[in-house]
Amino acid sequence: MTLIDRVKNIIVSPKTEWPAIDREPGDTAFLFKNYVAILAAIPAICGFIGGSIVGYSIPGMGTVRMPVASGLANALIGYLLTFVIVYVVALIVDALAPTFGGRKNFPSALKLAVYSYTPAWLCGIFFLIPGLRFLTILGLYGLYLLWLGLPVLMKSPQERSLLYAAAIVVCAIVIGIVLGLIQGALFAFPRMS
């Protein structure tokens, strides 16, 4: 299956796509190279362009841009951290499986994490125009994908999948905040004086 077909299918028809994904191998190198590496580049590249080239309009101050070198470094670090976050979320999905009546299976957990992040990466296109960043909220569709995929890939009972998904999301938010704070501290947006 091509990347475009997979993206389209996981977004448009996830109920039929998760069983197809379940039958596929969950090879880490393959998933990272052929899916994460490509889609995770969208928010990294668009964020760089939006922050360093387009800039942010601040009323009364004009347009503020992140220096190009800082923007590139920020984009690269953010891109690399995406791989870390996806892998750690997969570890969490796998570790929590027995607690919610599912089966431990890391390849399935990795597939679940990778494909559930698809909407968030696609919504990275909105970073091109800083005024449209609020539309990245559409990436929350990935939570629905996660919830749908848990019973299929992790074999958790449907009635426990909502709590399972909630536990994963809380852990992912904590990880994201911690890594975001670290990245923010390293690449603080320049202040106007």
90 or 60, which is more confident: 90
Q: Rounded to whole angstroms, what are the CA distances from 126 to 119, 129, 135, 177?
A: 12, 6, 7, 20
* 193: in domain: no
Q: How far apart are CA 23 and CA 153, in angstroms?
A: 9
* 162: in domain: yes
Tokens of 64: 């503020």
pLDDT of residue 191: 47
Cβ burial of 63 (10 Å; 0-12, 13-18, 19+) is exposed
In the chain, the number of structural domains is: 1
H-helix or E-strand containing 64?
Answer: strand 62-64
H-helix or E-strand containing 28?
Answer: helix 28-31
pLDDT of residue 187: 61
* 55: in domain: yes
Domain encompassing residue 34: 14-186
pLDDT of residue 3: 94
* 119: in domain: yes
36 in Cβ contact with 82 (< 8 Å): yes
Task: Write down the pTM of the prediction.
Answer: 0.88
* 8: in domain: no
Q: What is the 3-state secondary structure (H, E, C) of 116-133?
A: HCHHHHHHHHHHHCHHHH
* 3: in domain: no
pLDDT digits 0-9 by tens, 74-120: 899 989 999 999 999 999 999 999 999 999 999 999 999 999 999 99
pLDDT digits 0-9 by tens, 180-190: 888 777 766 55
Number of helices (H) and strands (E), helices first, in the chain? 10, 2
Q: How far apart are CA 92 and CA 147, in angstroms?
A: 15
